[in-house]
Amino acid sequence: MKILHYSVVVCHKLVISMSTSTTEGEILTIRQVADYLKVTERTIYRLAAAKKIPAFKVGGTWRFSRADIDSWIKQQSMEALDQGRDEEDQAKSQLNDGERK
């Protein structure tokens, strides 16, 4: 009996430990990702189907790792910054070319 009781306590602590862990390993649904990114569920479905957002299927339904989504957001932000800098450099170059003529 004591061993069985001890096992129940260990399992209870494991459940508590898992529920209080960070969101790093959290798996999200389409609805949760849509809410998180403030877009429609259809937008997330299209991005996932086009492989433009990190996703995987479980039993035919899309799932998303929160850590992967957070990394993807950072990557998108960096690419937008880089693109903005490139466009600014190109505009300056065109302005300088116009002044030389």
Distance CA 69, CA 24 (A): 10
Secondary structure (3-state) at 55: coil
Residues 15-32, buried b or exposed e (16+ Cβ, 10 A)? Answer: eeeeeeeeeeeeebebeb
Q: What is the mean pLDDT of residues 27-46?
A: 98
Q: Give me the domain span that covers residue 50.
A: 24-100
- Does residue 2 lie in a domain region? no
- Does residue 1 lie in a domain region? no
* Amino acid 75: pLDDT: 94
Give me the CATH number covering residue 59.
Answer: 1.10.10
Number of domains in the chain: 1
Secondary structure (3-state) at 62: strand
- Does residue 15 lie in a domain region? no
- Does residue 36 lie in a domain region? yes
- Does residue 75 lie in a domain region? yes
Residues 16-29: tens digit of each pLDDT:
444 444 566 999 99
pTM score, two decimals? Answer: 0.63
Lowest mean pLDDT among 4-13, 53-62, 72-81, 89-98: 4-13
- Does residue 55 lie in a domain region? yes
